[in-house]
Amino acid sequence: MKLTMNKNSENISGWKKFWKSLTKAHDLGTEEDILLDHDYDGIKELDNVLPPWWLYGFYITIAASIFYYVMIFGFDKYNQFDEFNTEMTDAKAAVEQYKADNPQLFSTENLEVLTSEEDLAKGKELFTTKTCVVCHLADLGGSVGPNLTDNQWILGGDMKSIFNTIAKGGRPGKGMIAWEGTLSKEERQLLSSYIISMQGTKPAAPKAAEGDIIWPEAVVDSLNTKVDSIAPVK
């Protein structure tokens, strides 16, 4: 028991020694030894040495700066621009890989128009809850955004175009934002299908038609069943 205690006290004094060697703090009570002559209106100054722990850190930064200087300018290593470009290239490749691995999330090929009552109800629900109604109104007659029931489209009225408009948004500054960050592909598919199902319906106060992509009226009337194969008039 006695032995252990001795050992402990030795450790503590060893630790204290080490600590002191790192701080080189002047012993309390003997400040006079390092007191400078200057007297600044009664304020006196002690000539303490810089603490070694701090100095070593400073030396390490100098050594590191020399190392990087030589590496970057001498050997063209650790170049931040190259590192940035490499990371960007890797990230882009990873995105492409992810797209290739999950085609169902990104591809608009063979995008199916959903027609079951259940899916259309889900689409309607999304149209209301995802704030589309604020700009397009509940009957899709249009207010800030265009009328979505008529045969005239700004960005295209086929499944793929509507799906893409919701994903990427409208023309800059018009107010139709890109929703792909907020709405999943399934949600966009449900919304597009719902919008298509509303073609040719009669909203209470339809906004005047906008856009240059015009569908034949007859097609609009039958749009809720088939869409992708039909081409607009112009």
**Choice between 155 and 227, CB closer to ligand HEC:** 155
Smallest separation (angstroms) from ligand HEC to the CB of 71: 51
Separation in Å, CA 84 to CA 31, 91, 230 = 53, 10, 46
36-72: burial string, b at 16+ Cβ within 10 Å, e else: eeeeeeeeeeeeeeeeeeeeeeeeeeeeeeeeeeeee
Distance (Å, whole) CA 142 – CA 31: 83
Q: How far apart are the first and last CA of the chain?
A: 99
**Choice between 74 and 172, CB closer to ligand HEC:** 172
Reported as type and span, the H/E element at residue 39 is: strand 35-40
**Choice between 45 and 112, CB closer to ligand HEC:** 112
Smallest separation (angstroms) from ligand HEC to the CB of 142: 9
Smallest separation (angstroms) from ligand HEC to the CB of 216: 16
**Choice between 26 and 130, CB closer to ligand HEC:** 130
Smallest separation (angstroms) from ligand HEC to the CB of 189: 11
Q: Are 145 and 130 in contact (CB under 8 A)?
A: no
**Choice between 72 and 209, CB closer to ligand HEC:** 209
Q: Which positions lie near ligand HEC, rule CB under 6 A? A: 130-132, 134-136, 144-146, 148, 153-156, 162, 165-166, 170-171, 174-176, 179, 191, 195, 211
CB atoms within 10 A of CB 101: 8
Residue whose Cβ sits closest to ligand HEC:
170
Question: What 3-state DSSP class applies to 223?
Answer: coil
In the block, residue with structure tokens 């995802």: 130
Smallest separation (angstroms) from ligand HEC to the CB of 123: 9
Smallest separation (angstroms) from ligand HEC to the CB of 233: 15
The pair of three-digit structure tokens given for residue 2, joined into one six-digit string: 């006695």
**Choice between 52 and 169, CB closer to ligand HEC:** 169
